[in-house]
Structure 1
Amino acid sequence: MIHMVKLCVGVSSIEELESYRDERAHWWDADYGEDVHVHRTRMMPKRAAEMEGKASIYWVIAGVIGCRQPILRLAPFTDPEGQTFCDIIMAPDLVRTVPYPKRPFQGWRYLRPEDAPPDLGANDDVGSEVIAVELARLGLL
């Protein structure tokens, strides 16, 4: 299994990303007929078979990995001009993770499971999450 990590460009918080999840599929005319979140990217991962139904996409927001979404499947998409893309079809719920700093990069990258930040537990204090995000931004975590 291999995960994916991607910058969440133009989004400043997890709450803002949550507000987009219901709109995004319709922006690209990509209605998969179910309650999913769709993100379109240029390249289909070569390791797609290792990801579908097993991995997650870890979102980098404001320089910090703060959440993930399980990847249900990857679907090829071709636009009317013949340009090919990959639709990443994800579960709609965001799973918050322990904040982890990540420098900017282009596109997406593979993320090994052992390098992925752990999920925040249901009993974890939201206040401590905010402090952890700030520490990560300062390079202290």
Structure 2
Amino acid sequence: MKLAVGVRDIEDLRAWQAERALTHPPLRHRTRMAPRRREEVLDGGSIYWVINGSMLVRQRILDIIEDTRDDGTACAALVLDPGLVPLEGRPVRAFQGWRYLDADDAPADQKGPGEVSGLDVLPAALRRELRALCLL
């Protein structure tokens, strides 16, 4: 789990990452320390983004590489799949840093729009707000 600081919603995260992927490839999230459970993370692991206090979306981690921050300090980088997978939202208490999430504790992926009756007719802004409130 990782807080998406300054991100308003999933679309905001998507836009920010699309720009970052173009200007500073590959798409990655830098972290001070490399994950201790590297092999587990690379065996189908994802980063679960917490947006405005709710775990709303996950993103597959493709690789973990050594990297350098803009100021020249060494760090690790989680190379991310650009695809964002919306989740059945769940409120999360505030925390610092990032946390491992056991598979049994991970929220389920959100059902596709066709699987929820009437969801596809709601305006996109309303769907985003309902997801942010963990109501979808």
Same fold (TM over 0.5): yes
Do the aligned residues in 2 keep the contact of 1:8 with 1:60 (CA within 8 Å)? Answer: yes
TM-score by length of 1: 0.77
Gap change, CA 1:94 and 1:135, over 3 Å in 2:
closer
Q: What is the correspondence of 1:22-33 to structure 2 with a 5 Å cutoff?
A: 22-25=18-21, 29=24, 31-32=25-26
Do the aligned residues in 2 keep the contact of 1:53 with 1:70 (CA within 8 Å)? Answer: no
Q: SS of 1:110's equivalent? A: coil
Which residue of 1 is the match for residue 50 of structure 2? 60
* Aligned-CA RMSD value: 2.4
- For residues 20 and 129 of structure 1, the distance between their equivalents in structure 2, rounded to whole angstroms, comes to 16
Q: What is the correspondence of 1:34-113 to structure 2 with a 5 Å cutoff?
A: 37-79=27-69, 83-113=73-103
* Amino acid across the alignment from 2:97: G
Q: SS of 1:21's equivalent? A: helix
Q: SS of 2:18's equivalent? A: coil
The structure in which a higher percent of residues are strand is: 1
Gap change, CA 1:129 and 1:105, over 3 Å in 2:
same
Identity of aligned residues (%): 38
Structure 2: which 5+ residue stretches go unaligned? none
Do the aligned residues in 2 keep the contact of 1:14 with 1:67 (CA within 8 Å)? Answer: yes
TM-score by length of 2: 0.80
- For residues 129 and 80 of structure 1, the distance between their equivalents in structure 2, rounded to whole angstroms, comes to 33
Deviations 1:38-93 (A, max 9, x none): 11111110001111141110000000000000111111113586622111111101
Which residue of 2 is the match for residue 7 of structure 1? 3
- For residues 9 and 100 of structure 2, the distance between their equivalents in structure 1, rounded to whole angstroms, comes to 22
